[in-house]
Structure 1
């Protein structure tokens, strides 16, 4: 079990569109980082690359879903088995 330095709302992070990365100031002077892809995959831990601190990111995972639609197989496709 991880010990979090803090729990931070995603709204408090800064977003860099070019790298698709969210960042938040770390007490060591660097920044906690988490990517949009991490959030889409359900990750909620932002790490600091310069020290061992981690924060838990509070966010609504549904806001980060890709919106990918997977169609159900048709009855013809099911019969082919």
Structure 2
């Protein structure tokens, strides 16, 4: 999978209402990724209007301040029956 660019989490905009990080896309729209997806290990933000993707550079610990800002908690791990 090829990405358009790498972007540091600090360079993205966090929306507390939608709990998404966004970043401007060259097509005029915005790359977006949910904080819960990032917490689960996803690091690719996609643009809903074109095929471009960016890699978000962050550490899982970085997300704590954004959860606090949104007044929420990271998702609880789901127990899987064996």
Q: Which category describes the TM-score, using the shorter chain as reference length?
A: 0.7 to 0.9
Q: TM-score, normalised by structure 2?
A: 0.75
Q: How many positions carry a matched residue from both structures?
A: 67
The unaligned stretches of length 5 or more in structure 1 are 69-81
Q: 1:31 and 1:67 mapped to 2: Cα distance?
A: 25
The unaligned stretches of length 5 or more in structure 2 are 65-73, 77-82
**Within 5 A, what are the aligned runs for 1:61-72?**
61-64=60-63, 66=74
In the TM superposition, structure 1's runs of 4+ consecutive aligned residues that sit over 2 Å from their partners are 62-68
Which entry has the higher C-alpha Rg, 1 or 2? 1
Alignment root-mean-square deviation, CA: 1.7
Q: TM-score, normalised by structure 1?
A: 0.76
Pair 1:14-2:50 in alignment: no
Pair 1:40-2:77 in alignment: no
Match of 1:58 in 2: 57
CA drift of 1:23 comes to 0.2
